[in-house]
Amino acid sequence: MGHIVDPDREYRLLQQRLDRNVTGAPESPVFMKILRLLYSPKEAELARRLPSRPKSLDFLSRRLGMPQDQLCDKLTEMAQRGVVLDLEFKGRRYFVLPPVVIGLFEFIFMRARDDMPMAELAHLFEEYMNGDDRFTRSVFQRQTQLGRSLVREEALPPGDHIEVLDWERASYIVRSASAVSVAICQCRHKASHLGKVCDKPQRACLTLNYIAESMAKSGHAQPITTGEAMSILEECKESGLAQTGDNVQTTPTFICNCCGCCCGMIHAIKHFDIRNAIVSSNWIREVDLSKCKGCGKCAKLCPVDAIEIAEEGEGKEKRRWAVCDDTLCLGCGVCYSACKFGGLIMKPRAKRVFTPETTFDRIVSMAIERGKLANILFDDPERLSHRALGRIVSVLEKSPPFKAAMAIEPLRSTFLSTLVKGARRSS
């Protein structure tokens, strides 16, 4: 890769490369400080030349003009630090440049470590993510999101007439996973370095399937059995945490156990009023006024502050009851578990929530909504022909008729099916 003449240029190019991801990475002096702490100038040059979809080691060796052994050693070392993601499939190594979220931030904070200035990084990430709304709105703009709420199964009404799909159940997601690992909750870990962590369980972040294998191999997470994962899930429920899963139907990669004070996704909802930062479940709470006592326990435990206690009358005639903001309700069922009087029930939403089938479908849906489809189609920033074609697609994306058409659900499904016909093979 040669001698680095202008290291600042490499960090600027890396920031621009990360900003091409569907969740973005807005330019900021604070973010540049983060990149300087995470990457050397030569590593920044290497990282910004990596694709945003996994590519094999032999492909990268040819593309970057580096011997496989040398490249493998360097990328493996970077993966162990969490600044590159590595995967293994059928004996072949694959590498990818992860986005800021879900990616760099999580990989940095999902374990205790002494190889990085964690306190400094915590303060920098806090300033970058929450100092203003630029980063948050970049991540959570539009409709398709990274995470979706998982309803507590015990909160669902009994009866065979209630349709609950397998991918809506946290228990099924865990039990059907090919591998499970556990790591420290990244959000509460960051908060601990800021001196404002809550008392909720820290060992609470479950990674699943191929990501669980990768995280365990790199030392970022600890492999556990299905039974251990279910125990962690139950412990987190008892602690009043809400379950947020990967927003896909098949082969999800994570289940977070979220508190209302530290979670970055919930912070976007409560502090920046991005009400769909977590996609709701297909359920919503309903108050049974004949049983609700207005005790306030549900309001206290609701992770997004969607419940308030209304009251009327005075003295012995005073009456209190819970009122929920339907536009905020995640359908997580935490309030159901808090109520000891049976005053809250979960009912199906009037309209089912759209959930992408696969991770690739989710990324493409997010790219369409955010005007970044060209970045998915032509993920090769060093070839001018791809850039030119990408510019054409980008113009089409941003034209009102095209965006209006993509808002129609049946057309979107047809379009995605055609679009990913060839690309799906490589994902």
Residue 44: what pLDDT?
A: 96
d(CA 238, CA 259): 12
d(CA 294, CA 34): 46
How many whole angstroms from its chain centre is CA 62?
32
Domains defined for the chain, CATH in brackets: 7-136 (1.10.10.10), 145-279 (no CATH), 283-348 (3.30.70.3270), 371-426 (no CATH)
Residue length of the chain: 427
Closest CA to 242 of 141, 351, 151, 140: 151
Give the number of other CB atoms < 10 A from CB of residue 128: 22
Question: Could you tell me if 318 and 312 are in contact, meaning their C-beta atoms sit under 8 angstroms apart?
Answer: yes
Between strands 307-312 and 319-324, the pairing is: antiparallel
Question: Could you tell me if 356 and 165 are in contact, meaning their C-beta atoms sit under 8 angstroms apart?
Answer: no
pTM: 0.86
Alpha carbon distances (Å) from 255 to 145, 233, 267, 282: 14, 9, 17, 17
Tell me the backbone φ, ψ of residue 6, rounded to 5 degrees.
-125, 90
Question: Could you tell me if 390 and 374 are in contact, meaning their C-beta atoms sit under 8 angstroms apart?
Answer: yes
Residue 60: what pLDDT?
A: 94
In order along its 427 residues, the chain shows pLDDT tens digits of 556 667 799 999 999 999 999 999 999 999 999 999 999 999 999 999 998 888 899 999 999 999 999 999 999 999 999 999 999 888 889 999 999 999 999 999 999 888 899 999 999 999 999 999 999 999 999 889 999 999 999 988 876 556 778 889 999 999 999 999 999 999 999 999 999 999 999 999 999 999 999 999 989 999 999 999 999 999 999 999 999 999 999 999 999 999 999 999 999 999 999 999 999 999 999 999 999 999 999 999 999 999 999 998 887 778 899 999 999 999 999 999 999 999 998 999 989 998 988 898 888 788 878 878 777 766 654 443 455 445 445 434 443 444 434 433 333 444 444 444 444 444 4
Q: Which residue bears the tokens 């490589």?
A: 426
Residue 385: what pLDDT?
A: 45
Q: Which two tokens stand for residue 423?
A: 């690309």
Evaluate the omega torsion of the peptide bond into residue 102 and state whether it is cis, within 30 degrees of 0: yes
d(CA 376, CA 365): 11
Q: Which residue bears the tokens 């896909």?
A: 248
Closest CA to 101 of 74, 82, 80: 82
Alpha carbon distances (Å) from 390 to 292, 375, 379, 394: 56, 7, 9, 6
